[in-house]
């Protein structure tokens, strides 16, 4: 794992946006695996700015998101489809037909997992997968477990994730209890992985990620077995190392 030290959130965002931008320049019809959450917002702002300036062209880019809450449709302001439209897709010249997020309103969970797995496969592999990291080490919504789940699956969110995500809902009772997520196998199949972390709250898990063993209780630890992973973290997130 290559570790890139950023000064602060802004610097982390620019550095990560530079890597995504280079990927798009090198392969204009690349497949980007994308994440939601607070951490990538600055990255999406930066990419939007470069696209507006005419330095970046999303017209051929294809995207596949990591996860979605079960029960929320794409119009719900806390759904990940809504987040992606608002923070990136509605602001750049991407063809929305080429953007994919699991369907939180699917009637049959098993069929939705299989459908989304086929979507990922049909894209011919992810060129660059962007990841954040949960305080408990989750990537996508692969929560701490005693196994690494391979493929897209429906997952019950842990109390710590529900707690962390409740800041975005009116009350904790409104936070969905389940989500669809890409599996560890699909994430690990990406050609290159870019993981970003910012702030003091992430310092303990970043230390565990870098110094701890590979184990499913810390899902992100599996990234050590991937041959092309870049971690961009700011001073605060690296402060316990
Ligand atoms: C969301 C996702 C999650 C987040 C993680 C960190 O699509 O994949 O794994 O990356 O929960 O979230 P933030 O960035 O809000 O700290």
Q: What pLDDT, in 10s, does the model give residues 130-179?
A: 999 999 999 999 999 999 999 999 999 989 889 988 988 999 999 999 99
pLDDT digits (tens, 9 = 90+) for 30-79: 999 999 999 999 999 999 999 999 999 999 999 999 999 999 999 999 99
Ligand 1: residue whose CA is nearest its atom 9? 140
97-131 per-position pLDDT tens digit: 999 999 999 999 999 999 999 999 999 999 999 99
pLDDT exceeds cutoff 90 at 206: yes
Q: How far is CA 180 from the centre of its chain?
A: 13
- Counting ligand 1 atoms within 8 A of each CB, the residue from 99, 116, 133 with the most, and so the one to mutate, is 133
Per-residue tokens: 92: 């750049």
67 is catalytic: yes
Of 143, 186, 208, 236, the catalytic one is 143
Secondary structure tally for the chain: helices H, strands E = 7, 10
**101 and 107 in contact (C-beta within 8 Å)?**
no
Q: Could you tell me the two tokens for 217?
A: 């209780």
Q: What is the mean pLDDT of the chain?
A: 97
pTM over 0.85: yes
Instruction: Based on the residue annotation, tell me whether 85 is a catalytic residue of this protein.
Output: no
Determine the residue of 68, 78, 132 to mutate for testing ligand 1's pocket, defined as the one with the most ligand atoms within 8 A of the Cβ atom: 132
Reported as a pLDDT band with limits 50, 70 and 90, residue 25 is very high
What phi, psi does 58 have (nearest 5°)?
Answer: -95, 5
């Amino acid at each position: 794992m290559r570790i890139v030290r950023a000064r602060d959130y802004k610097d982390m965002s620019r550095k990560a946006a530079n890597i995504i931008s280079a990927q798009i320049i090198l392969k204009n019809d690349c497949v980007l695996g994308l994440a939601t959450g607070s951490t990538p917002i600055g990255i999406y702002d930066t990419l939007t700015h470069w696209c507006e300036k005419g330095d970046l062209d999303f017209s051929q880019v294809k995207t596949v998101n990591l996860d979605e809450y079960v029960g929320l449709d794409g119009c719900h302001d806390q759904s990940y489809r809504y987040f992606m439209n608002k923070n990136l897709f509605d602001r750049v010249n991407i063809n929305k037909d080429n953007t994919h997020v699991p369907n939180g309103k699917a009637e049959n969970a098993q069929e939705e997992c299989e459908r989304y797995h086929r979507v990922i496969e049909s894209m011919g592999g992810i060129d660059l997968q962007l990841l954040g990291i949960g305080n408990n080490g989750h990537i996508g919504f692969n929560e701490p477990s005693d196994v690494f789940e391979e493929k897209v699956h429906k997952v019950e969110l842990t109390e710590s994730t529900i707690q962390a995500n409740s800041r975005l809902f009116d009350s904790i009772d409104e936070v969905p209890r389940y989500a669809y997520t890409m599996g560890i196998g699909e994430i690990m199949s990406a050609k290159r992985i870019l993981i970003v972390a910012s702030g003091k709250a992430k310092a303990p898990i970043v230390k565990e990620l870098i110094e701890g063993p590979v184990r499913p209780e810390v899902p992100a630890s599996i990234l050590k077995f991937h041959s092309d992973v870049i971690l961009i973290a700011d001073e605060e997130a690296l402060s316990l190392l």
